[in-house]
Structure 1
């Protein structure tokens, strides 16, 4: 695969999350409700004590992290999560990040909206910056919408990369629910379909990360060493995790809801079909041998989305053992101090992780997964 020049590293020392943590972890019942809640709080406490973000506290990495914090609060009601949500919202002055044309920079507003919808004081949350961002993002022209922003990623639509389907649509959807302005949904659907039509592989039922990885049938540079197409685990995790968030808050009578239900089911069944034996998905979904170890951010999003599907009747309960196997693998990747390891660093294609690699969005995926595993029967 020639998508970048990567130094050749001997990864023979890498093992699965479970194997790597056996020597340092006390054997625990990872499905015990108290244990799940404890592990989630430890993850929150560690991440809050070790803040990390790509460029700014309001960027997409914290957006994904605090989405996980919001879902953890929704399930558990633990005020430690709400305190973290309120603290960061006030510290950020309720602002999204600065790129009004970029889906990543509105992701943080999911947490703002969640706080606003669960706060009794109506004057506590300031959602005007979120509304202003969405109005500009959705309704004003920019080079991507105009198709004039040519680049190697072919940035000629608004949401040109699949990660965007987690970053913006759930925020727009939740804003619609809060503000009771359904007209935003049709605009969201328009841009969602642009991304779907460009990046969704009907044969594999997975999303290419962006146009660099859309295989056209005659380009070996767009294939993995084993000859398979390149499908990035976290990229598809962003999409299916976003679908679960969308479906939960989307009106039941929305005219395009069936599209999202069908897409969710297609992806969920495909993800289950390619789940490795130890429960954790590899960074390259169709070439697991290339980085043969579990990775937590993609696996966390899958575990969240799949458990959500079972809990809400979109997936058959026969898949419960597979989802529990995934959570067992994820739980083994958490260090004793609460840090969640085995998270691939910021990127756009399959790369390795390690026991000590972490990111705030990995913690967010862990919290998302735990929030639904707690409800799984």
Structure 2
């Protein structure tokens, strides 16, 4: 009888194990399907951007690159190659502006996987000029432009591409230069009490009498702005050598911000556009939440964050992100282009919101 019971329990355990594996497999398949639908809708509905190589497209196609990296699905790869060929592998025109470098990240990604069609000469040119060519911004001639990366979004737009380029070139000088400019932004905009970034120097806290504060008296911290930073940190750390002397700084900053973002997650799952005043706009927002989900899931998958502590956070947010996707594949609840907390609606969308959705999905697929 005992042998029968043991055999029964063993078979039951195997069935339950297989059932869990099957459930996980189904969930991953569904995630990839949702990502493909988001891609297909976005490709069929290109945004009227300033340029096909501007930052909105750069952020979107960075999401497409990571989606391909996670899935190996040819549809993502085709979209990347088609985009690069349409653009003649060019960045946008402002060598001094971090926003115009982000489109080079998907170009660089394609080189890492051996795509021969890529012409990296325009990427090499803008990186050299961005880092080493003089410009008024670097000399502090205008009030806001005291440093090269004077707004926190820039920490997604340039540093990940520079880090990937440094890895491809096997040349630490690009990392060192990236770190120099990153520290300028950190020292200007990072709030060491709140472990969040001000969007730019207009939002630096000037005490209780500041005209830049929420109605509840809290400092203004923009969700997508901090999403840019935390998502950018994950991309930087992915390609930064483990023995790089300044890597501990980025790991510590990543963990500090991750802990804060976890602490202030709303019960509904999606972060609101104003992080410390969620009541200001009483709904979740997809672009910031997508970047946070990507970054936190990346940390779990790469051993920087405790799985038991952070998995419930990303699982809850991923449910919210999926709920924001319409049957057509369109991803709604995306705050429009801006530089501070503003509302969104179920029908508001932007290509960078789709990019954030794809980034989130790319890491959620890897969760065990």
TM bin (shorter chain): over 0.9
Q: Is the 8 A contact 1:30 1:331 kept in 2?
A: no
1:138–1:187 CA contact under 8 A, matched in 2: yes
Q: Specify the alignment match of 1:37 in structure 2.
A: 32
Contact 1:29-1:35 at 8 Å conserved across structures: no
Among 162, 167, 190, the residue aligned to 2:152: 162
Q: Does 1:256 align with 2:246?
A: yes
CA distance in 2, matches of 1:322, 1:179: 37
Give 1 or 2 for the bigger CA radius of gyration.
2
| Contact kept in structure 1, 2:54 and 2:99, CA below 8 Å | yes
Question: Are 1:129 and 2:107 matched, yes or no?
Answer: no
Q: Secondary structure at the match of 1:86?
A: helix
After superposition, residues 105-254 of structure 1 pair within 5 angstroms as 105-121=100-116, 124-150=117-143, 154-254=144-244
Identify unmatched segments of 5+ residues in structure 2: 1-22
Runs of 4+ in 1 over 4 A off after TM superposition: 28-31
Alignment of 1:353 onto 2:344: yes
1:125 CA drift (Å): 1.0
| SS of residue matched to 1:157 | coil
RMSD of the TM alignment (CA)?
A: 1.4
Q: 1:73 corresponds to which residue? A: 68
Question: What is the SS of the residue equivalent to 1:259?
Answer: helix
Rounded to whole Å, the distance in 2 between the matches of 1:81 and 1:240 is 24
Q: How does 1:299-310 map to 2 (within 5 A)?
A: 299-310=289-300
Aligned with 1:83 (options 78, 81, 87)? 78
How much does 1:54 deviate? 2.8
What SS does structure 2 have at the residue aligned with 1:90? Answer: helix
Q: What secondary structure sits across from 1:221 in the alignment?
A: coil
Tell which deviates more after alignment, 213-222 or 194-203: 213-222
Instruction: Provide the aligned length of Structure 1 versus Structure 2.
Output: 345
Residues 215 and 335 of structure 1: is their aligned pair in 2 closer, same or farther, counting only changes over 3 Å? same
User: How far apart, in 1, do the equivalents of 2:358 and 2:152 lie?
Assistant: 22
Aligned to 2:285: 295
- Aligned to 2:314, which of 318, 323, 342? 323
Q: Which runs of 5+ in 1 are unaligned?
A: 1-27
Summarize the Cα distance change of 1:310–1:348 in structure 2 as closer, same or farther, 3 Å threshold: same
For CA contacts below 8 A with separation 6 or more, give which structure has more relative contact order.
1
SS in 1 for 2:68: helix
Q: In 2, Cα distance between the equivalents of 1:348 and 1:235?
A: 8
Alignment of 1:281-292 (within 5 A): 281-292=271-282
Task: Give me the whole-angstrom Cα distance separating, in 2, the residues matched to 1:312 and 1:185.
Answer: 21
Give TM-score scaled by structure 2 length.
0.92
What is the distance in 1 between the residues matched to 2:250 and 2:28? 31
Out of 56, 59, 62, the residue aligned to residue 54 of structure 2 is 59
Distance 2:56 2:133 in 1: 25
Do the aligned partners of residues 51 and 341 (structure 1) sit closer, same or farther apart at CA in structure 2, a change above 3 Å counting? same
